[in-house]
Amino acid sequence: MPDEIYPIPTGFAERARVNAEDYRRRYRASIENPDAFWAEEAKFLQWIKPFSRISDTSFDARDLRIRWFEDGTLNASVNCVDRHLPGKADCAAILWEGDAPGESRVVTWGELADKVNRLANVLKSLGVAKGDVVTIYLPVIPEVMVAMMACVRIGAVHSVVFSGFSAEALASRIADAQAKVLVTANEGHRGGRAHPLKHNADEALRDQPSVRHVVVIKRSSADAPFTPGRDLWYDEAVASAAPWCEPVEIGAEDPLFILYTSGSTGKPKGLVHTTGGYLTHAGTSWRNIFDWREGDVFWSTADVGWVTAHTYKIYGPLLNGATSVMFEGVPTWPDSSRWWSLIEKHKVSIFYTAPTALRSLMREGDGPVRKHDLSSLRVLGSVGEPINPDAWRWFHRTIGGGRCPIVDTYWQTETGAVLLTPLPGAVPNKPGMAGRPYFGVRPEVVDARGAALEGPASGNLCFRGSWPGQARTILNDRERFIQTYFAPYPGRFFTGDGAARDEDGYYRISGRVDDVVNVSGHRLGTVELESAIASHPAVTEAAVVGYPHRVKGQGVFAYVTLKEGVAETEPLRREIMGWVRARIGPIASPDIIQWSPALPKNRAGKILRRILAKVAANDFEDFGDVSTLAEPAVVEDIVKRRQQALAIKETA
C-alpha cells in the first residue's frame, strides 16, 4: 500500500522559517560541522561573557563528557524576561484561563518581570543562593513561570513536581534534591474539583528537614494549614520585596533545573539540565518546529510538571518573547468543547497537545468542535506517545480544517528538546510518523547486537553525537546515567524506545522497549508501580505490564499475589488501586488488577514479563520459549483467569 502523505499546505512553505531546501542545506551543515552550526544558533541568546569553547563531548561510557559553550556565562531570566522589555512591557506574555469558565487573567511582560524580580528577592531573603534547589509544586497558574524565573535569576535550580503527584512522591523528590524552599499553593483546581496542595505539601514535609521555608500562593480564598515561621504567603512577601533583583552571572554548564522522570528501576531519576546548551536548543528549536512568528498565539496543553512544558510551554515561548495561553483545567470540563472555546477566544494559531487527549475528545464526535471557529489555527503539534493514524487524521481534518501541518515531535525528558519531527514547512506529513531528525541530530536504528541498520529498518532507537539540550546527568547518580543511556550501545545514547525507519527516512516510534509504560503520555516505571502495590499489607508480590488501551495508549495491568489466607475481593481490589493513587498519584492507578496466586518465573526466580504482557493484551497463543519456566501450570492459571474475566465482561 502506498504511504498516506499529506503535502505541505499551499503557500505555507513560502513563508515558513524553514522550507525543504533550508532543511536539506542546514541539516547537512549541522551534521558535517556541529560546532559551527550550534555556535551560530547560540547567538540567539544574550551572553554576559561569550563562549570561546563550543563543545567537549564524548559518549564513551568510560569517559562520558557532555559540555557545551562551557566558558560562556549568561542569565536565563534575563534571556526569558528582561530581554523583551521595554518594547513588550504592556504586551501579553500569558493569557491564563482558570479551571472555571470566566476566570481569566492577562499577564504582561512588565508584570511578569516585576513579580520575577520580587520573588527572586524573597528567595534570597530566605537564604536561597546559587546552586540551591527550590521545589515547585503548583497547579498550572502564571506563578509557576514566576517561580521558575525567580529561581534562575539568582542561580537557584528549580525542580518542578507535577501537582497530581501524592505527598509521598513529592517527599521523595524533595529529599533527593535536598530542596531548601518549597513553592506551593493553598489548592489547585481541575475539572471543577479543588485539590489540597498545601495539605499534601505539609504531609510531604513532615520528614524533610532540608526545606526551611514554604512560599504559599493563594490560588483561591480557601483556608490552608499555615506554619508560622516556616511558611509565608506569596502575595505579602512579594508586595514588600524590592522590585529589582540583580541577575546572577551563571556558567553555561551550571545547572538550570532538575526534572524527575520514571525509569526501569524503582527510584525516579532526577535529570539535570544545564543553562547555555539547553536554552540555545529550547529557544531555537521551539520557533523552528512551530514556525512561530511575531503575532502568533501559542498554546501547549501540557502540565507544568513535565518536560514538554519546561521546554515548549515555558522556556521556548519566553525566550522568544511569544504570547502563550495557559489553562489550568481539563479538556472535558464543564464540557468537551472547553479547549475549542479557548482556541476561538484567544485566536490560538499554534496548538500543541497529546494523543491521549485527542483520542478521548474524538470519542465525543465532531459536535463539540463544530460549535467553535478554529480558523486561527495554523500549526498543530503532538507529543508524548505515538499518535495512531485515526487520531492523527481527526486532528488534521476536524481540528486543523485540513490546512495545518502537524508536527509529531519525538523527544524525552533526557533529550531536553525535540530530536525527531517533520518541520512544518519542510517535511510533508505521514500520519503516525515522527518525521525526520531535527538539526544536528543523528538517529540510528540498531539491532540487538548494536549494529547500526541502514535504510528501511526497525530496531532500537539511538542517537550518535551530542546535542546541546541533552541532560548532563542524573542527580546523585552519575553511574546510573552512564549505565542507562550510554552503556547499552557503545558510543551512542540509547532512548529506551523501539523505532522503524522507512525508505524516505521517516521514523515511526513503536514504544518503550524497557520496563517503562507510557500511560496517557505519562511515563511510569513498572518497578515503581510494583513496589507501591507490594507495600500493601495484603500483598506478597506484584508484576506490572502495559497493555493496549483505547484512550490512554497503554493502561496499567497489575498481576497481584495476595498473602496466604487473604480473600480475593472487590473491596480489596479497590483498596489497592487507592493505595497506589495515594503513594504515587492518580495517573498511576492500575486499570486492571488480576489476582495471581503465583507469577510465571524462570528457575532463577525472574518474572517472565513477556508472557504477562501477552496475556494482558489478550494474546493467549505462542508464548515463545517457555522451557525456562519453573512451573508451567502458573501460566495456565493466569490465562484461565484472564479468559474468565473477559467472559464476565462480555456477558455483563
Contact residues: ligand PRX, CB under 6 A: 261, 306-308, 383-386, 408-413, 434, 495-497, 509, 511-512, 518, 523
Closer by beta carbon to ligand PRX, 219 or else 310: 310
Nearer to ligand PRX, 77 or 409 (CB): 409
In terms of DSSP H, where are the helices of 518-608?
526-534, 570-583
Nearer to ligand PRX, 340 or 463 (CB): 463
User: Which one, 155 or 384, has the nearer CB to ligand PRX?
Assistant: 384
Min dist. Cβ of residue 33 to ligand PRX (A): 28
**What's the N-to-C CA distance of the chain in angstroms?**
39
Q: How far is the CB of 9 from ligand PRX (least distance, A)?
A: 21
SS3 breakdown of the chain: % helix, strand, coil, rounded to 5?
A: 35, 25, 40
For the chain, helix (H) and strand (E) counts, in that order, are: 21, 33
Beta carbons of 525 and 560 less than 8 angstroms apart: no
Distances (CA, A) of 109 to 97, 217, 290, 542: 17, 20, 21, 50
CA distance 346 to 324: 9
Nearer to ligand PRX, 94 or 509 (CB): 509
* Cβ at position 442, least distance to ligand PRX in Å: 17
- Taking the C-alpha atoms of residue 547 and residue 555, their distance in angstroms, rounded to an integer, is 5
Closer of 74 and 441 to ligand PRX (Cβ): 441
Q: How far apart are CA 284 and CA 299, in angstroms?
A: 17
Cβ contacts of 397 within 8 Å, gap of 6 or more:
none
DSSP labels, 505-525: S-EEEEEESSSEEEETTEEEE
* Minimum separation from the CB atom of position 110 to ligand PRX (A): 32
Spatial distance between the Cα atoms of 406 and 381, rounded to a whole number of angstroms: 5
Find the shortest distance in angstroms from Cβ 61 to ligand PRX: 20
Give min distance, CB of 271 to ligand PRX, in A: 9
- 149 or 307: CB nearest ligand PRX: 307
Please tell me the total number of residues recorded for the chain in this structure: 652
**Strand 379-383 with 350-353, pairing:** parallel
Element housing 362 (H / E): helix 355-362
Taking the complex as a whole, how short is the minimal distance between the CB of residue 387 and ligand PRX, in angstroms?
7
Name which of 72 and 164 has its Cβ closer to ligand PRX: 164
Tell me the three-class secondary structure of 78-104, residue by residue: HHHCHHHCCCCCCCEEEEEECCCCCCE
Q: CB 433 → ligand PRX: shortest distance, Å?
A: 9
CB of 260 to ligand PRX, least distance (A): 10
> CB neighbours of 134 closer than 8 A, spacing ≥ 6?
123, 128, 147, 151, 156, 157, 158, 159, 179, 180, 181, 182, 183
Nearest CB to ligand PRX, comparing residues 67 and 512: 512
Q: State in angstroms the smallest separation of the CB of 259 from ligand PRX.
A: 9
Nearer to ligand PRX, 251 or 316 (CB): 316
The smaller minimum CB distance to ligand PRX, of residues 336 and 353, is found at: 353
Q: How far apart are CA 8 and CA 50, in angstroms?
A: 38
Q: How many CA atoms lie within 13 A of 637 on its CB side?
A: 13
Residue 525 Cβ, how far from ligand PRX at the closest point, in Å? 11
Residue nearer to ligand PRX on the CB measure, 280 or 495: 495
The torsion angle over the Cα atoms of residues 13, 17, 19 and 23, rounded to 10 degrees, is -160
What is the smallest separation between the CB atom of 261 and ligand PRX, expressed in angstroms?
5
- Distance, in Å, from the CA atom of 104 to the CA atom of 328, rounded to the nearest integer, reads 10
